[in-house]
Chains A and B, each alone.
Chain A
Amino acid sequence: MVAGRQKCLVCLALRRWLRGIVILGICLKRRIEIGILYSRSGSYQLVSDACRMGAMRAIADINADRSSGIELVPVERDPQSNADRYATLCEDIFRTSSARHVVGCVTSWSRKETIPVLEKAGGMLWYACPYEGFEANEHVVYMHACPNQHLVPLMAHVVPRFGANGFLLGSNYIWGWEMNRVARDLIADAGGKVLGERYLRIGETDVSRLIAEIRATRPNFILNNLIGTSSYAFLAAYRDLAAEDVAFSPEACPVISCNLTEGELPAIGESGKGHLSVGPYFAPRPAAFASSFEASAYASVQVMADVLSRDPDAGPAEFSKVFAEQRFSTRLGPIAIDAHSQHATLPVIIGRIADGFFEVVSREDEVAPDPYLSRYDPAKTFGRPRLRVVS
């Protein structure tokens, strides 16, 4: 009886001691500040919010994970979709906190503005959005798709099904300019013609001229590199055009995008139905993440935390070494990050907009990044090159 009582007391003491150790473990988690640089307002707020949501969810999950030895502390700044504020706010994060890693930026314009600050401070940017390629900065980890993971496979899918003549649209900054430049080459390689190329300033919603030109030139597809509210206005007007003329229905002449995700479908509504987009993730039902932006930002924090939990002071050189040796298990699936270009190997999924979600049209797993399109092969992309009349 006494022995049993003693046993119970020992058990109780042991349990309390273990609980104490766990609590102590949580308290002893190393605190690491990380920057969050996403706009909370402005014309591309929906995308920005999706990225921020992914980063914040990952931070919360890592902090709640008792087996993780680190606690991530977000240091947040809001550039309000003003490209000129990203660099100064990134500088502010580095100056006022111990953060050396920043998850942030949506537009390439803002990323390029931020790079000099990162280089000066020895910081790293985790970039969770698709971009136009032709960049490989060792202070940036590119966690979303580059052209061989979005535009090239999307065009390879569209050309044999709809035709090679395209109309190119873009918001008036580097994403639209560079994406359309690559698209011009792809269309030429496919034996098609660029029937028009038009740009709108970011936030512009008057699309009547674009619609009139598309109506007049009758392309086989429209490559949409407009962003935010311009894109929503265009898709709404294009739906009206399709109602007048079936030649502009999604089945005959789709609008194809490399950056359109579920996060924007509520703003687009019925206008998006049937059109195509490409990305590394489309939300299944039920979905862990609402969009590839959210999933990619989540994966960014996961990979960063994985390395920082072992080496809290890791900078670009240390990350590069880890990238050369390790694959990461993320919510995007298992991914590798190319140590030279710091771009992620990703799935390439083409999706068609259905009722508030994307139905998967095709999927290819583990596509290695080729940000400079150095391995691009027209014959492989579009089949046998078409013969052209040489005069």
Chain B
Amino acid sequence: MSKVPRIPNLGGARAFVLHRPHPTVQAITRQLSAIGLETVGCWPELPAEVLAADFVFFDADLGFDEQFPWKPGEAPMPMVALIGSEAPGRIEWALSHQADAQLLKPVGNAGVYSALLIARQSFEARKLQASEISSLRLRVAERQTIVRAVEALSKGAGDGRAYAQLRSLAMSWQISVEEAARRIVAMTEEEGGDDQSHRA
């Protein structure tokens, strides 16, 4: 899927900069303000409002897990790592928080804008990918249900026709094939149960 380039709409967005008071924070704040974002500096903790933030810049040099009100890798917004020391352990830690982009310290006159755009695109792509994976997992988990639904529909007809019938039902009910299979299996079980109750 190719993404159509757009004028990036960053006006009014809020960015939290999790870094101790330092010229780096001033440089980032200056650039963010010039771009049109509101900046909130904080250290060592992120306030509760961070959950509504559009971006979080975090210090990879002195940062630690407990600073974040979410588990590593589960930030609900794009994250930008501020890297000073390129010590492997610190980079590993920044990666554990799924940094979507990075800025090398000291931060100069440029870099924040590209970091924002790269972080946002990476974050959106990661979110989309996670949602697709979750949906695929659900579908894979329903394989058994589809087999049972096809079996139930194939009385007197072949598997091919039964599967075509399942797809046609899914389309007419406007639901997924897996969901249609679940309904058919449920209906079959209900009928079976009724039969048994009739027999009893």
Residues on A lying within 8 angstroms of B by beta carbon are 115, 119, 134-139, 181-182, 184-186, 188, 338, 340-342, 370-376
Digitize B33-72: 1 where CB-to-A-CB distance is under 8 Å, 0 elsewhere: 1111100000000000000000000000000000000000
Query: Which one of B7, B33, B35 has the highest number of Cβ atoms from chain A below 10 Å of its Cβ?
Result: B7
Q: Within 8 Å of chain A (Cβ to Cβ): is B3?
A: no
Does B7 contact A376, Cβ atoms closer than 8 Å? yes
Which of the residues B10, B11, B34 comes within 8 Å of A136, measured between beta carbons? B34
> Does B21 make an interface contact (CB < 8 A)?
no
Nearest CB in chain B to that of A341: its residue: B34
Question: Which stretch of B105-113, B145-153, B158-166 is in the interface?
Answer: B105-113
CB pair B33–A372 under 8 Å, yes or no, is no
A234 to chain B, nearest CB (A): 26
> Is the pair B35, A136 in contact by a Cβ cutoff of 8 Å?
yes
A182, closest chain B residue (CB): B7
* Cβ A373 vs Cβ B7 within 8 A: yes
User: Known: A137-B110, A372-B113. Is A340-B34 also a contact (CB below 8 A)?
Assistant: yes
Write out the residue numbers on chain B whose beta carbons fall within 8 Å of the beta carbon of A139: 109
* Chain A residues, Cβ within 8 Å of B196: none
B88 in the interface (beta carbon within 8 A): no
- Which B residues, 6 to 36, have Cβ-Cβ distances below 8 Å to chain A? 6-12, 30-31, 33-36
Interface size on B, residues (CB 8 A): 20
Q: Is residue B5 contacting chain A, with contact meaning CB distance below 8 A? A: yes
**Across the two chains, which residue of chain A brings its CB closest to B37?**
A374
B108 and A119: CB pair below 8 A? yes
User: Which residues 86-143 of B sit at the A interface, judged by CB distance below 8 A?
Assistant: 108-110, 113
A-side interface mostly: loop
Assess whether B5 is in contact with A181, with CB atoms less than 8 Å apart: yes
Closest to B11 in A: A374
Q: Kindly report which residue of chain A lies nearest to residue B32, judged by CB atoms.
A: A340
Closest beta carbon of chain B to A54's beta carbon, Å: 26
B89 to chain A, nearest CB (A): 32
Please state if B34 and A372 are interface contacts (CB–CB under 8 Å): yes
Name 14 extra pairs, CB < 8 A, besides A119-B109, A139-B109, A374-B37.
A115-B109, A134-B113, A136-B31, A184-B5, A185-B7, A340-B33, A370-B11, A370-B36, A371-B34, A374-B12, A374-B35, A375-B11, A375-B36, A376-B9
| B13 nearest CB neighbor, chain A only | A374
Give me 17 A-to-B residue pairs in the complex whose CB atoms sit less than 8 angstroms apart, sorted by A's number. Answer: A119-B109, A135-B110, A137-B110, A138-B30, A138-B109, A184-B5, A185-B7, A186-B7, A338-B34, A340-B30, A340-B33, A341-B33, A341-B34, A342-B34, A374-B9, A374-B35, A375-B36
State the CA gap A340–B37 with chains docked (Å).
11
B41 to nearest A CB, angstroms?
Answer: 15
CA distance A134 to B117 in the complex (A): 12
Task: A188 to B33: give the CA distance in the assembly, Å.
Answer: 28
- A185 near B5 (CB under 8 angstroms)? yes
Task: List residues of chain B with CB within 8 A of the CB of A341.
Answer: 33-34
Q: Are A374 and B10 in contact (CB under 8 A)?
A: yes
Top 3 A-B residue pairs of the complex, sorted by shortest distance between their CB atoms? A374-B36, A374-B11, A136-B34
User: In this complex, what residue of A is CB-closest to B108?
Assistant: A119
Residues of B within 8 A of A375 (CB): 11-12, 36
- Contact check, B6 vs A376: say whether CB atoms are below 8 A apart: no
B9 near A137 (CB under 8 angstroms)? Answer: no
A119–B37 Cα distance when bound, in Å, is 24
CB distance from B9 to the nearest CB of A (A): 7
Please give, as numbers and ranges, the residues of chain B lying within 8 Å of A370 by CB-CB distance.
Answer: 11, 36
Q: Give A61 Cβ to nearest chain B Cβ, in Å.
A: 31
The smallest C-beta distance from B113 to any residue of chain A, in angstroms, reads: 7
Chain A min CB distance to B183 (Å): 29
